[in-house]
A = this chain, B = another copy of it.
Amino acid sequence: MSQYRVLIDADDKKGLVHKVSTVFYKSDMNILSNSEFVDKEKNKFFMRSVVEGDITLDRLHQLISDVMPKSANIEVIAPQNKNIIIMATKEMHALGDILIRNEAGELEANILCVISNYNNLESLVSKFNIPFVCISHVGLSRDEHENRIVEYLSKFEEVDYIVLAKYMRILTPKFVEAHENRIINIHHSFLPAFIGANPYKQAYERGVKIIGATSHFVNNNLDEGPIISQDVIHVDHAYGWQDMQRLGKDVEKVVLSRALKLALEDRIFVNANKTVIFQG
């Protein structure tokens, strides 16, 4: 018996559920969970099923392809650890949270390496026997710096996700396009409020009573990619912006780790500039 995650995204039309469920039924498969969503505005159908049965991945993919429209995107995935790269700058909380979860076996991930433009995280990362590489940006143009990162990354055959765990530099459009919907960022505000630099200071100056964090896929518009997860905490007038920053770290790390987990478990569809996420 093998277990598969089946992800389908297609233009909506009558009978899609019928056709897929017929494949499962005729192949004598168990449906462990099944979620569907139709975006009526865009006329798009999304389905994620977890199924098990005595069938190969290729055969199951073929059977589903046979009944789906040509334009449908069909993924059949056998659960296994995904390869991830973490990029960070100086802060420990988001990176540390991922490292501890990985150590505890909570993540379906192999962390290939941690890349930083500073040295100070090396001591933390090396505790976990994960390669750490410092690629400093000092004295380099944005392109030169990024080229060094790209060069370093080229040694890895397959990278499923790049996780920006408080990586404080902006990536070039070229880099972003090369990893479309594969770069997960944590922004330290409740987007779309406080886009850009030092959002806690912006929040403090605006006098908000709630602060938040947002994990999202990165696209070419700063802080405007599809949102994966958000959460917030209440603050009041007694919090200075450094207090907000300190408190906000707890939200940031939980939100980023949650988004990463959703991605590793193949629960996220990107639907134009939004996400469809099946938690069930």
Contacts and interface: CB of A to CB of B under 8 A. Distances in A.
A26 to B, nearest CB: 8
Interface in A223-280: 226-232, 234, 236-238, 240, 246, 250, 254, 257-258, 271, 273-277, 279-280
Contact of A96 (B92, B104, B210, B280): B104
Given A104-B92, A127-B127, A190 B210 contact: yes
A230 B209 contact: yes
Nearest to A206: B192
Contact of A193 (B17, B96, B193): B193
A236 B17 contact: no
Interface in A164-212: 190-194, 206-210, 212
A152 interface: no
Contacts of A17: 17, 21, 24, 31, 34
Contact of A209 (B24, B34, B92, B229): B229
A124 B103 contact: yes
A54 interface: no
A128 interface: yes
A191 B237 CA distance: 16
Interface string A74-110: 0000000000000000011100110111011010000
Contacts of A14: 25, 28-31
A118 to B, nearest CB: 14
Interface residues of A, number: 72
Contact of A92 (B22, B100, B234, B280): B100
A29 B17 CA distance: 12
Contacts of A250: 254, 257-258
Given A92-B100, A209-B230, A274 B191 contact: no
Nearest to A96: B100
A37 interface: yes
Contact of A103 (B92, B226, B230, B277): B92
A18 interface: yes
12 contacts: A14-B28, A41-B240, A106-B246, A190-B190, A192-B206, A206-B227, A206-B274, A207-B227, A210-B232, A234-B234, A237-B271, A250-B254
A15 interface: yes
Given A100-B93, A193-B190, A208-B230, A277 B236 contact: yes
B18 A207 contact: no
A280 B37 contact: yes
A143 interface: no
A275 B41 CA distance: 31
